[in-house]
Amino acid sequence: MTALADLARQGLPAVIAAPVSWAVLSLLLRYADRLPLDRPNPRSLHARAVPRGAGLAIWAGWLAGSFWTPGAKTWLFPLLAVIAISLLDDRRGVHIGVRLAVQTAAAALWVWLVPPSIPPLIAVVAIMWMANLYNFMDGSDGLAGTMTVAGFGAYAAAAFYAGADEAGLFLAVAAATAPFLYQNAPPARVFLGDVGAVPLGFLAAVFGLAGVSEAWWPLWFPLLTFLPFIADASITLVYRMLRRARFWEAHREHFYQRLVRLGWGHTGTLKLYGALMLGTATSAVTALVWAPQLGPWLTVGWSAVLALVYASIDYHWRRRRGQGIDESKC
């Protein structure tokens, strides 16, 4: 009976988060003409303007649900700072230097409040990179929403197994994102915007590092859970840096972007990446519960699988270019 009561208590934040998020999202869609528009451009994958800013619904739902969770909310002020600068960037545009400065300050504040088990500088860099790569990967319908539901759902399962009260907090993120995912599935009616994607990546890193520090899970667990996002974004960044491209500018060179342009479309790309996300997240939880010693090997194994997927995409992409197909029409 105690276990059932604990399960009900942990589920309460999610029960609150989902309907609040749905209500706010419905309101945003009703007044979609007042939202910033994500207009098609040479670096996007869409052919029509789509309103963005649905991340506000996620944060409204999640903050309403998280009010009921116990413990110090050391993430609150750093997260609010990231949400604020990201919202301003959606509406008016903010210089990249200002955005990075606020993100750095927010990450440093959290690291100061909750000293992680890894060197502070590495923790700050990891948090900033995760926040930005989440935004880079939010370019095709349903991808970021699926990664969020799968990733934070895995965090919730692992925290519940560890007996941590934060399990309800993590589950509420997934629950608050579910209404957005429904509206963002192909063809998307609304986008997250920076106000959704950047703070979600920030939380994925912060909660991942917090779990390592609290011994809820080893470091391989958050890496494996979010590996499809981390690998695609990181490999693409390195590739662009080696080519001396302006890696900080928007582009269409991520593997998921190439896959869409190769003819898979948003639906086909979501099916493949969704399967990879569910696979890594489920593997991470399964290994953590039954065979933690296999976690690093699973991370290596899934990295190999992703490498093969990326190599195949790259092969077909180069073949397409070799056939002289106009990439601007892809």
Question: pLDDT (tens digit, 9 = 90+) per residue, 230-255?
Answer: 999 999 999 988 888 776 677 889 99
pLDDT at 328: 45
- pLDDT of 330 strictly over 60: no
- Mean per-residue pLDDT, 24-44: 90
Q: How far apart are CA 119 and CA 56, in angstroms?
A: 32
Mean pLDDT in residue range 64-71: 86
| Domain boundaries, position 223 | 2-329
Please name the residues in contact with 59: beta carbons below 8 A apart, sequence gap of 6 or more: 83, 176, 195, 196, 199
Mean per-residue pLDDT for 173-199?
Answer: 97
pLDDT at 329: 43
Q: Which residue has the higher pLDDT, 145 or 246?
A: 145
Q: Name the band, by pLDDT with cuts 50, 70 and 90, for residue 31.
A: very high
pLDDT of residue 4: 67
Burial tier of 308 (Cβ tally within 10 Å: 0-12, 13-18, 19+): exposed
Say if residue 324's pLDDT is above 60: no
For residue 318, pLDDT over 60 is answered with: yes
Alpha helices in the chain (DSSP H): 2-30, 55-66, 76-91, 96-113, 120-136, 143-162, 167-184, 194-213, 220-225, 227-242, 255-259, 265-290, 295-322
Whether the per-residue pLDDT at 284 is higher than 70: the answer is yes
Residue 38: phi, psi to the nearest 5?
-95, 100
> Average pLDDT in the 188-206 region?
97
Kindly report, residue by residue over 77-116, the tens digit of the pLDDT. 999 999 999 999 999 999 999 999 999 999 999 999 999 9
pTM across the whole model:
0.94
Q: Which of 3-7, 128-132, 154-158, 316-320 is predicted least confidently?
A: 3-7
| Residue 9 pLDDT | 75
Mean pLDDT of the chain: 93
pLDDT tens column, 251-270: 889 999 999 999 999 999 99
In which band, very low, low, confident or very high, does the pLDDT at 68 lie, cut at 50, 70 and 90?
confident
**Model pLDDT, residue 242:** 87
What pLDDT, in 10s, does the model give residues 165-184? 999 999 999 999 999 999 99
Over range 44-66, report the average pLDDT: 94
219 pLDDT band, cuts 50/70/90, is: very high
180/109 Cα distance (integer angstroms)? 29
For residue 7, what pLDDT is reported?
65
pLDDT(327) > 50: no
Listed residue (64, 73, 71) closest to 15, CA to CA: 64
Based on the structure, what is the number of domains in the chain?
1
Quick one: pLDDT band at residue 316, thresholds 50, 70, 90?
Answer: very high
